[in-house]
Amino acid sequence: MRSRQGLLHPNDECERSATVREMRRVVITGLGMVSPLGANVGDTWKRLLKGESGAARVETFEVEDLPCKIACQIPRGDGQNGTFNPDLWMEPKEQRKVDDFIVYAVAAASEALDDADWHPESYEDQIRTGTLIGSGIGGLEGIERNSLLLAEKGPRRISPFFIPGSLINLASGHVSIRHGLKGPNHSVVTACSTGAHAIGDAARLVALGDADVMVAGGAESPVIRLSLAGFAACKALSTHFNDDPTRGSRPYDRDRDGFVMGEGAGIVVLEEYEHAKARGAKIYAEVVGYGLSGDAYHITAPASDGDGAYRCMSAALKRAGVTPDELDYVNAHGTSTPLGDEIELRAFERLVGDSAHKITMSSTKSAVGHLLGAAGAVEAIFSTLAIRDNVAPPTINLDNPSVETKIDLCANAKREKQIDVVLSNSFGFGGTNASLVLRRVVD
Amino acid sequence: MSETADKVKKIVVEHLGVEESKVTENASFIDDLGADSLDTVELVMAFEEEFGVEIPDDAAETILTVGDAVNFIEKNKAS
């Protein structure tokens, strides 16, 4: 019975409501990514499984006076050897008009649509395909640059492309224009939960019948002086590994001291199950659960009792019709901040109880850093690939766990095991939480 | 071709990403060179910056071709 339960299969309360219609099943049929470990999904996944880190000292702007001088930046180059060449995805004159998060979104969306082999040409297909891409902060670089320009040279020097190049929903806008996607055009802004919320919300649009296909995910380009200064002021960044950058992001380790900022985009193609089957699409996994909650506690700190995280995970499992003991792998939020990692771990232990010893949980932020609004999306992709390949990516730099736990934290080496059901967590500033449950599709 | 025309041409090529050979005196920014209304605003700003002239909005509306831009700049640069 539970294997037939879709993403939003009415739960007990919903069944009493006459207004809720039957939900449709939603599957993932395409993946696209630009990350600090590579310009695409394949290169990133390979390096992630090897336990490589994308962190390095920032060389692209002055960091001498900043407490955090490291970040996980996209390896730019000519497009060879896993480097990212934006010119291959967007004409240089178009890149000039937008912030980098839009360039990353455009590249990852093109990869995802190619991977899904979905290029709607008929009007009917176009209006049934939508876009829902979010960002935590959006075009901060453009805002910084134009603010300085305004102060120095006055309003007549502000470019007409400043606003459309910085707006968060313009990632969805550009992707929809390039691919003729005329269905729902939407966006999400929930800090570090953005990517997970975008995929969850988009899956609901498909489940509810507003679209048959949704291009969904998150994009972020935060590695600039202004945001390193801002996040450092919040005491959120790692500051003790400036001379040893690849060791900076170390979730659950006793020496962790903050997150290492990352950049990039993760985009998935979500599709109604019968629609995907009818066209013979490759199906990676089913989005079976999505949970949301609020901490109502503090603007940046997670609630110490982990109750928001717990309720979020429980809600996602309930929607999925999955019991905690069925979970094979968890992609944790695990940012490497002193407070957050343990609160999430304790909340998860409370959720799974006696099943803890059977579950593998890792934080891929240890390798790619924290991609903020893109994090939940790239982590949903890693979760999908964990199901495809039956392997959990490692938590690197976990040399001395700060806590004892029965959960396998996948320290420093990938774990090969049967993985059919995965939970992916994202928690953001403002106390906003999102969890996704993905499951292997077996007919 | 005048120095002004050369510079205008260079700016147009750079901003609109078009072949230099297409940027003729009679080429219309919108009809021939693929600019949209926002591109033309940005072009006018780039001309102002490069030549140190002010191009008021009502004048900008009359600058439709490469030649229009060159003429306006040459006339107003000297005065």
Q: Outline where DSSP puts E strands in A14-54.
A: 26-34
What local confidence, expressed as pLDDT, does residue A14 receive? Answer: 44
- Flag residues of chain A having pLDDT under 70: 1-21
What confidence score (pLDDT) does residue B1 get? Answer: 63
- Our CA-based measurement puts residue A92 at a distance from the nearest CA of chain B, in whole angstroms, of 8
pLDDT, residue B70, reads: 96
- Domains: count for chain B: 1
Domain that includes residue B59, residue range: 3-76
- How much is the pLDDT for B78? 61
Q: Is A180 left (phi over 0), alpha (psi -120 to 50) or beta?
A: left
Q: Could you report the per-residue pLDDT of A171-221, keeping only the tens digit for each?
A: 999 999 999 999 999 999 999 999 999 999 999 999 999 999 999 999 999
Contact A31, A384 (CB under 8 A): yes
State the CB neighbour count (10 A cutoff) for residue A64.
5
Task: Identify the active-site residue in B6, B32, B36, B58.
Answer: B36
pLDDT value for A286: 98
The answer to whether the CB of A398 falls within 8 A of the CB of A253 is yes
Contacts of B71 (CB under 8 A, 6+ apart): none
Q: Is A370 annotated as catalytic?
A: yes
Q: Which distant-in-sequence residues (6+ apart) come within 8 Å of B18 by Cβ?
A: B12, B33, B34
Question: What CA–CA distance (Å, rounded) separates A266 from A414?
Answer: 21
The reply to whether B57 belongs to the active site is no
- Tell if the pTM clears 0.80, that is, is over it: yes
Gap between the Cα atoms of B41 and A388, Å rounded: 50
Res B9: pLDDT: 96
Cα–Cα dist A333/B65, whole Å: 55
Residue A8 DSSP SS3: coil
CATH number where B72 lies: 1.10.1200.10
- Per the CB < 8 Å rule, is A161 touching B38? yes
| Whether the Cβ atoms of residue A211 and residue A184 lie closer than 8 Å to each other | yes
Q: How far apart are CA A191 and CA A189, in angstroms?
A: 6
pLDDT in tens, B20-73: 999 999 999 999 999 999 999 999 999 999 999 999 999 999 999 999 999 999
- Contact residues of B toward A, CB < 8 A: 15-17, 38, 41-42, 45, 48-49
Closest CA to A361 of A321, A303, A403, A302: A403
| Secondary structure of residue A414 in the 3-state scheme | coil
Kindly provide the ipTM of the predicted complex, given to two decimals: 0.87
**pLDDT given for residue A21 in this prediction:** 66
